[in-house]
Structure 1
Amino acid sequence: MSTDEGRKLTRVVQTCSAYPVQWDAWTADGQYLYLRYRHGEGCVEWHPGPDDDADTPESWNEGRSGLLIGWDDGTGGGVIGLGDFLAAAGLELAPDASVS
């Protein structure tokens, strides 16, 4: 993933609005990312795609998935807006991004 293109999201789909807040996202260079926020902790994971059973240890051990960034904001919160999440993760929306 190139640095600039890998940080710009072209498509974001919210899959859960609270506890945890989560989104499926795709970067400008086509990488799928899973975004999640729960108990004040945010994470961005990369996976082959949203339909892959990426939670199995085998996919992580085979190098097909991994943690891109994780943080704890110290709030213990369960809800965060997409803009605040992206800012905390160092990600941004591409100018023509699709967000749903």
Structure 2
Amino acid sequence: MSALARVVQTCRACPSQWDAWTVDGQYLYLRYRHGIGSVEAQPSKDPNTWDLDTPPLTEWDDGTDGGVIELDDFLSRAGLRLAMLAPVVSYEEYVEQQRRERADQ
């Protein structure tokens, strides 16, 4: 089970999705849409660097066709866990951070 050092929720519903980094620094894209959860390992958070032909590390269909899942449930289904004291940035905090970064430019 991989431990996550940091998680940032970038969308809270339809799809629920997060940017995450393992304790080893690997970037992971976590996504849940239409009842399908997936974890992709990519070179960085920048989608321009992604290899779209790389299969997900894990993927599952819970049969619900849902678009919302809590992080704890997602991590449990994906076989992931938070490292001790790992920060989890909420969607609201993420949006505020993005707003501040745009204002500083």
In the TM superposition, what are the counterparts of 1:8-19 in structure 2 within 5 Å?
8-19=3-14
Q: Which amino acid aligns with 1:13?
A: V
Whichever structure has more helix as a proportion of its residues is: 2
Aligned residues: 89
Q: TM-score w.r.t. structure 2 length?
A: 0.79
User: What TM-score results when the alignment is normalised by the length of structure 1?
Assistant: 0.82
After superposition, the C-alpha distances for 1:26-50 in whole angstroms (9 at most, x for unaligned) are: 0011100000000000000000011
| SS of equivalent residue, structure 1 residue 8 | strand
Determine the C-alpha separation between the residues in 2 that align with 1:54 and 1:66.
15
State the partner residue of 1:84. Answer: 73
Shift of the 52–98 alpha-carbon distance from structure 1 to 2, 3 Å rule, reads same
For residue 41 of structure 2, give the secondary structure of its aligned residue in structure 1: strand
Mark the runs of 5 or more structure 2 residues left unpaired by the alignment: 90-105
Pairs within 5 Å for 1:14-53:
14-53=9-48
**Rg larger for:** 2
Gaps of 5+ in 1: none
Cα distance in 2 for partners of 1:54, 1:73 equals 30
Runs of 4+ in 1 over 6 A off after TM superposition: none
Tell me if the contact between 1:47 and 1:66 (Cα under 8 Å) persists in the aligned partners: no
Q: CA RMSD in A?
A: 1.5
Matched-pair identity in %: 60
Preserved contact between residue 54 and residue 60 of structure 1 (Cα < 8 Å) = no
Among candidates 82, 85, 91, match of residue 93 of structure 1: 82
Shift of 1:66: 4.0
